[in-house]
Structure 1
Amino acid sequence: MILAKFRKSYCVGLSAILICLIITGCGGTKTTVQEKAVPVKAVKVIQQDVTRASEYAGQVQGKNEVKIQARVSGNIVEKMVSGGDIVKKGQPLFRIDSIQYESTLLSAQAQLVQAEANWENSRIDTERYQNLLNAAAIPEQRLTTQKATERQNEAIVASYHALVKKAQDDVNSTLVVSPVDGRIDVNDVGVGTYVQAGSTTLVTLGALDPVFVQFSMSENEYLSLRQVSQNNLASSGWGEDVMITLSNGEVYPLKGKVTQADRSLANNSGTLTLKASFANPDEILIPGMFARVKIAGVPIKDALLVPQRAVQQVLDKSLVMIVNAENQAEPRPVILGEKVGSYYLVKQGLTVNDTVVVEGLTKVKEGVAIDVTIVTPEELELSVNS
């Protein structure tokens, strides 16, 4: 029994000694493990004047787009084009039955001939009455009455000239021609269709080079742009370099220019409608297509910029890792504005004296020592250009 108690006490003491040795070491002094600094790359926050680019939803429209309607009523008897054809100004498109209009023209011409004959007779009578009056063979009232008859016959001739011209115009209008260069749509009328003058649309036609891209901006955006130019938006230097991105994500290779601005805001939306003109030599842009319009907006003086790659999104917050005075990583919440090229505009949270980590973010934590390599925006291929 005594031997067993001795063995138990011996084991407990030995365990305590071993624990003490592990904690204190052979020399009896405390040791710490020195963490190695994490290598990162960082850049200085940039402060410079920038011009913010604004984007708007736009739609392509044909220039000189018109709905072609018949000037005379009748049945379509001939169709010279097919839907989707490219046509030139003055090119025949449709022919309307002209029989009734040709008959009207012949009748008007016959009436004109008769009226001219009557006028000629009355003119001869006037000369004869003038001679008789000179010979005191008739009273002056007779000559006055004859002159009135001559003027009346002259007016009748003028009216029949107008009827002949109208009838001739109607005959000519039975041949419908293109008023402009462009492409017709596929929803055209067919042969045999009865068309009503001034109401039936035969086909829609629009020029494809150049074209318009129409878009709208809010009232506040318009007021901000007035700070850039005190002149009319469409006639100032603003809007010279307009770019569009097509629905497939491709940037249209040619730049456009704002050429039209509405005179008032739309009543139902409070927006201002503008049109930018784009050259379309390859006919890539088709009326009805949607596009994102990008246009330079209001210059921002002394804007603070931080690289997009430096920003981390945590829930609904935006954070960057800055290099603090102790050369440690320190998270900093920021409020960001729009994207400007490879950067974000910083509204709040940073100063021009701050340095932000752009590479190595996945390896650093708050308070961890970091081995910082300062790099330039050029080395990281960062740009403020969109």
Structure 2
Amino acid sequence: MSTSHFNTIRYLSLIALSAALLASGCSSRQTAQAPQAVEVKAMQVIQQDTPVTYEYVGQVKAKNEVQIKAKVSGNIVAKMVEGGARVSEGQPLFQIDRRQYEAALLNARATLAQAEAALNNSRRDTLRYQQLAAKNGIAQQTLDAQLAAEQQNAAAVDAYQAKARQAADDLDDTLIVAPFNGRIDVNDLSVGDYVTAGSTTLAAISSVNPVFIQFSMSENEYLQLAQHSSGTEPREWGGSLKLILSNGAKYPLAGRIAQVDKGLNTDTGTLTLKAVFDNPQQLLIPGMFARIVAEGEMRRGALLVPQRAVQQILGKTFVTVVAAGNKAESRPVQMGPRVGSLWVAEEGLTAGDQVIVEGFSKVQAGTPLQVVMVAPDDLATAEEQ
């Protein structure tokens, strides 16, 4: 074989190898540019008859709460209870120095005794004057003057009796007692503090059993509950309320609507209500937050999706569904009431849709999906873990 022929073959081989390498590189780039399927977890939309519940954020309020003010002035000489303690109706709390009130009572009683003695003398004089007047022994004017004097003495007795009762009440008011069963606050006064009648607050007491849960609902929610219940009065449809504590625990006792505001709040458009709950263990403390759960209507064939699948952006609500060809699709939806961990879908979904419950933050519209289907029980187990 000649040298020129060998070079020609070598040149053609290099060209073929370069073309193969170029084709291989282009194919690799095309493969790299192809979108990768993203693994997500999805769940079939649930369709079933569902009893709807309505939840409201409420705050525990004492049914009775009072600030105890001194009715008399003086120094506190004894304190019978510690701040934050439970107290019973009639239990002594504070003792105000009673010495001046004891003296005032003794003085009032002495003055009353003098007035009563003067009245008794007047009555005896009146009896003698009446006997003399009957025999024309004295002028009628003298008898009239004596009768007026007796009336004045009787009025004086009434006045001094009132002062004696007031002095006795003041003496009794030096002992401050609890007006009802409850718990006293921790901002109470101490021995030696001077209190002024009618202005100094010695302590505040709140009742602990039962308690109120105060909450508000919108006008539409009020109408929804009223129209789908046996009665329009809140006390009729709110007779068996449930309570969920801030840590997610269910309160064991049911409550009922006890008070309803006179009308809607003009600023918020909401109606304020108070539910009463028995609190025998005193677990509920005024100021705590909890969720009131009210039973509503039965939704026939309701469409339910997990709350974790719903995205709320700029006042709009979306879910990501598995569209044709296993591709992601963002779907605007209108949601209704929540039912446990699920949410009723009013518009935007059908019973045949599959909603992504995990991984939707990693995909965009049109992204290929590698779908792993899960059941509602799988989601509940994952949330518990």
Report the equivalent of 1:284: 283
Report the equivalent of 1:50: 51
Report the equivalent of 1:356: 354
Question: 2:330 aligned with 1:339, yes or no?
Answer: no
| Larger deviation, residues 171-180 vs 119-128 | 119-128
Report the equivalent of 1:178: 178
Report the equivalent of 1:215: 215
Report the equivalent of 1:104: 104
Report the equivalent of 1:258: 257
Q: Separation in 2 of the partners of 1:310 and 1:187?
A: 44
Q: Separation in 2 of the partners of 1:207 and 1:372?
A: 54
Q: Of Structure 1 and Structure 2, which has the larger fraction of its residues in helix?
A: 2
Contact 2:71 2:197 in 1 (8 A): yes
The 5-angstrom pairing of residues 114-153 of structure 1 reads 114-153=114-153
Q: 1:285 to 1:372 in 2, by over 3 A?
A: closer
Describe the SS at the equivalent of 2:63. strand
Q: Separation in 1 of the partners of 2:175 and 2:330?
A: 75
Q: 1:153 to 1:190 in 2, by over 3 A?
A: same
Structure 2: gaps (5+ residues)? 21-38
Q: Separation in 1 of the partners of 2:60 and 2:193?
A: 31
Report the equivalent of 1:63: 63
Report the equivalent of 1:113: 113
Structure 1: gaps (5+ residues)? 19-37
| Larger deviation, residues 252-261 vs 221-230 | 221-230
Report the equivalent of 2:86: 86
Describe the SS at the equivalent of 1:307. strand
Describe the SS at the equivalent of 1:169. helix
1:278 maps to amino acid: F
How far apart are 1:203 and its partner, in Å?
Answer: 0.9
Aligned length: 356
TM-score, normalised with respect to structure 2: 0.75
Q: Separation in 1 of the partners of 2:266 and 2:342?
A: 37
How far apart are 1:224 and its partner, in Å?
Answer: 4.3
Report the equivalent of 2:23: none
Q: 1:301 to 1:101 in 2, by over 3 A?
A: same
Describe the superposition over 1:276-302 as per-residue Cα deviations: whole angstroms up to 9, x where unpaired: 22222222222222x132322653644
Describe the superposition over 1:173-212 as per-residue Cα deviations: whole angstroms up to 9, x where unpaired: 1111111112211111111111011110101111222222
Q: Aligned Cα RMSD in Å?
A: 4.2
Q: Separation in 2 of the partners of 1:371 and 1:267?
A: 49
Q: Percent identity?
A: 41
Question: 2:283 aligned with 1:295, yes or no?
Answer: no
| Larger deviation, residues 90-99 vs 148-157 | 148-157
Q: Separation in 2 of the partners of 1:203 and 1:53?
A: 38
Q: 1:42 to 1:81 in 2, by over 3 A?
A: closer
Q: Separation in 2 of the partners of 1:244 and 1:314?
A: 24
TM-score, normalised with respect to structure 1: 0.75
